[in-house]
Amino acid sequence: MASLSPRRAVGLMALGRVALGATILLAPEQITARWLGEDNARQPAVGDLARGLAARDIAIGLSVLATIDDPVAGPRIQAGAALADAGDVLGTLLARKHLPKAGMVGTVAVAGGAVVAGLYCARRLARG
């Protein structure tokens, strides 16, 4: 099995981020219900906040894609993307008592994995 290059991994994570952001923009309640629970997802403010997070993810993903071949900016933007994911992990853990267990665990696992992979890839990109 061939290994995945850091550049390819970063590109795939960025595309996934853009796709997730677009999906949340189109269906915020359906997506946030899995993370925050159906009752929370029905709150109008939650949809508004979800759209803001979606726009953030789209912007981050597009920034990563635009700088992926820049030896200075690329690793820095990728590290910033990983830090945004760390914020998602922290926010989810802080709110865990108010979230469905499956949504909390899933979010921490996915976002936590993105933190680790993102920082690893940023470091590898920086080394060339």
Which parts of the chain register pLDDT below 70?
A: 1-2
pLDDT at 57: 97
pLDDT tens digits, 49-61: 999 999 999 999 9
Q: Which domain holds residue 75?
A: 6-127
pLDDT at 128: 79
Which residue, among 40, 44, 43, 84, has the nearest Cα to 63 in the 3D structure?
84
State both tokens at 85: 């994911």
Calculate the alpha carbon distances from 32 to 7, 44, 50 in Å. 30, 12, 7
Looking at the domain assignment, is residue 29 inside a domain? yes
Specify the number of domains making up the chain: 1
Looking at the domain assignment, is residue 76 inside a domain? yes
| pTM of full prediction above 0.85 | yes
Q: What does the alpha-carbon distance between residue 76 and residue 92 come to, in Å, rounded to a whole number?
A: 24
pLDDT at 35: 87
Looking at the domain assignment, is residue 50 inside a domain? yes
Looking at the domain assignment, is residue 44 inside a domain? yes
Looking at the domain assignment, is residue 84 inside a domain? yes
Looking at the domain assignment, is residue 39 inside a domain? yes
pLDDT at 1: 57
State both tokens at 120: 């690893």
Looking at the domain assignment, is residue 1 inside a domain? no
Looking at the domain assignment, is residue 83 inside a domain? yes
